[in-house]
Chain A
Amino acid sequence: DQQVKQNSPSLSVQEGRISILNCDYTNSMFDYFLWYKKYPAEGPTFLISISSIKDKNEDGRFTVFLNKSAKHLSLHIVPSQPGDSAVYFCAASAQGTYKYIFGTGTRLKVLA
């Protein structure tokens, strides 16, 4: 049972436009969410996080939105740059479980 789903395996966006990556979850106990970026042959790099007490968190070009009623979060990248081309993972954790559940990732390609 995949508790965290990224239903779009890939996404292509023009440079300068907005990239929107989506993530859905099923477990209402999740209370902390992370987004990571991963290049081939490297470990995941942390991008941004959000706690369930918030519905938005912003850090530079990256904004994460959380819709608890829909059990949905999204990562917005504005403006998109070619260097943003990578695989993006969302992850969720429930207090006291000491683990994150990761989605299967979305491969973003930013076209110059």
Chain B
Amino acid sequence: KAGVTQTPRYLIKTRGQQVTLSCSPISGHRSVSWYQQTPGQGLQFLFEYFSETQRNKGNFPGRFSGRQFSNSRSEMNVSTLELGDSALYLCASSPMTGFAGELFFGEGSRLTVL
């Protein structure tokens, strides 16, 4: 079974631009979560989707948005990029409807904002 796939793996943007990251969950997994990892900050929760519905959102500005499609694939978008948005963005999927359980992570998309 294929794991969680994130694209692109690496990207460089400049301040003010916007970026879209994509995540394909493990087949059959309907819950997709996004996390931001920066040095010293651990993993910060961005949002979680289940069956195209956002069930929770982290404490990030409105420039960060996401969506989930009917095939469970998910995208997140960051508009008006700032230097501080440079981070590793991780997507995770879960088979659990009620959420509690293991998260399966992708390898992440490393965003550098210049």
Chain A positions within 8 Å of B, measured between CB atoms, are 6, 31-32, 34, 36, 41-46, 49, 51, 89, 91, 93, 95, 97-105
CB distance from A55 to the nearest CB of B (A): 17
Q: In the bound complex, do residue A98 and residue B48 qualify as a contact, i.e. CB atoms below 8 Å apart?
A: yes
Q: In the bound complex, do residue A49 and residue B101 qualify as a contact, i.e. CB atoms below 8 Å apart?
A: yes
Q: In the bound complex, do residue A99 and residue B56 qualify as a contact, i.e. CB atoms below 8 Å apart?
A: yes
**Cα–Cα, bound, A101→B42 (Å):** 9
* Residue total for B at the interface (Cβ-Cβ under 8 A): 28
Residues of A within 8 Å of B19, CB to CB, are: none
Q: In the bound complex, do residue A99 and residue B42 qualify as a contact, i.e. CB atoms below 8 Å apart?
A: no
Residues of B within 8 Å of A98, CB to CB, are: 31, 33, 48, 50, 55-56, 99
A-B contact count, CB below 8 Å? 64
Given contacts A43-B106, A44-B90, contact A99 B58 (CB under 8 A): yes
**Cα–Cα, bound, A44→B89 (Å):** 12
Given contacts A93-B99, A99-B48, A100-B103, contact A43 B108 (CB under 8 A): yes
Q: In the bound complex, do residue A93 and residue B100 qualify as a contact, i.e. CB atoms below 8 Å apart?
A: yes
**Closest 8 interchain pairs by CB?**
A43-B105, A102-B43, A104-B42, A98-B55, A32-B100, A98-B56, A98-B48, A102-B42
Given contacts A31-B100, A34-B102, A98-B50, contact A89 B56 (CB under 8 A): no
Chain B positions within 8 Å of A, measured between CB atoms, are 4, 31, 33, 35, 40-45, 48, 50, 55-56, 58, 90, 92, 98-108
Residues of A within 8 Å of B101, CB to CB, are: 32, 49
Chain A: which residue is nearest B47 at the CB level? A99
Q: In the bound complex, do residue B56 and residue A105 qualify as a contact, i.e. CB atoms below 8 Å apart?
A: no
Residues of B within 8 Å of A42, CB to CB, are: 107-108
Q: In the bound complex, do residue B107 and residue A89 qualify as a contact, i.e. CB atoms below 8 Å apart?
A: no
Residues of B within 8 Å of A31, CB to CB, are: 100
Cβ-neighbour of A99 out of B45, B105, B107 (below 8 A): B45
